[in-house]
Structure 1
């Protein structure tokens, strides 16, 4: 059943008013009609089964039939800190990372990052990225929409490492095997740091270690940056029984 995210303000007791771009999707893509049902998620762990009672050009009015808890959120909260890759690779990472279970994305610029984002275009880029994440969250039946943070510098990333409970930095030249590192940490908050196409420099890895990050290896094969982030995320959630286990 089709899902849509709403803000708590859009629900008034047993009525939900859907507005914005979702109105077009309901009317013209799904071709829904009064009497059809859908699910609205408030991003706070609540799902509402609702029936459409009225459709107008600006809004879709629904009646709440049932309320239940959102079941699509992993217990382990993984933030993917991704050095900006070339082309549309970041959009792929955002979409698939959301489907797998990442809770936040932090793009950053490192020494070998090729992509440079103009400050004037950053807000527009982030708006597009957030829309991609929203659509992926709806498709994957997530309980809330992961955040896409504004891109930060390497210094900004080091500050993020200082603030987080556990940080893992993928390093193709060595480190603790990812599975072993996960067995040694119990935190439910993990910052996963993935480098650009050219990888991290030795000085960057050393700086990340001083800030508190643990260098980890994903194995003997060298993965593309967009593969590494999704493979590592999957490994983390699988190890924590948040992926590949029984449905909730």
Structure 2
């Protein structure tokens, strides 16, 4: 079953009668008509920007819109109870695209690209803006594929100081660090996370965290180990997310 996203105003749903309609517009119309070649009567799942999801039946496929009848609301959804924010040290080449795609599949809520001391890549404002637009498109595509109820937000590029200030608003912050030893502490910290708590994950770039970045971490941020092997920057965040999904997903 294909997944689509619409704005809140495109959904007309009567909660008491549990009936309604959704009007799909924009690029998804061409995708439904000419790429997927869908027909009336086929089933789709549609989410609005407020995080509501509905199972629908296509009723009309026109040139500039698609009308779908809501059959029932998805009360269970596909989102974790814990919002997870991935603070990713800016990696080389197109690794960020892979990270965003897979992190979206694993349930991340927001991805924050961070310029750290050991980052090889340096982006000016124009390049960063263009990258951000592409990364957001990748997140939306991955959210459709993985049947997410919401599309993760890809934040504009931040520096280290800005990222730390943002992370201070979260309930739990995890910092996988290659020199940290012992998985027992990692299991204990993750095991004490409760439903609803917001979680931040800090991942260093290819060169790792600098000594100043690690020693300057606030005491409430937890340095953790991901095992005895050194993971690449594009692997470390996904490994941490997988551990959290195992622990937190109902």
Fold match, TM over 0.5?
yes
> Any unmatched runs of 5+ in structure 2?
14-19
RMSD: 1.8
Shift in CA distance, 156/204, structure 1 to aligned 2, threshold 3 Å = same
Correspondence 1:90 to 2:93: no
Aligned-partner SS, 1:72 = coil
Aligned-partner SS, 2:84 = strand
Task: State the shift of 1:20 in Å.
Answer: 1.4
Query: Residue deviations 1:9-43, cap 9 Å, x none?
Result: 11134221111121121112110122322121124
Aligned-partner SS, 2:156 = coil
C-alpha distance in 2, partners of 1:100/1:42? 20
Query: Residue deviations 1:181-206, cap 9 Å, x none?
Result: 22344472110000000100121011
C-alpha distance in 2, partners of 1:10/1:127? 23
Structure 2 match to 1:10: 10
Structure 1 match to 2:224: 216
CA contact (8 A) 2:46 2:55 kept: yes
Shift in CA distance, 185/50, structure 1 to aligned 2, threshold 3 Å = closer
Of 120, 123, 128, the residue aligned with 1:122 is 128
Structure 1 window deviating more from structure 2 (40-49 vs 200-209): it is 40-49
Of 136, 153, 156, the residue aligned with 1:150 is 156
Alignment: residue pair count: 241
Of 24, 31, 37, the residue aligned with 1:25 is 31
C-alpha distance in 2, partners of 1:239/1:52? 37
Aligned-partner SS, 2:158 = coil
Aligned-partner SS, 1:5 = strand
Correspondence 1:112 to 2:121: no
Structure 2 match to 1:230: 238
Structure 1 window deviating more from structure 2 (68-77 vs 129-138): it is 68-77
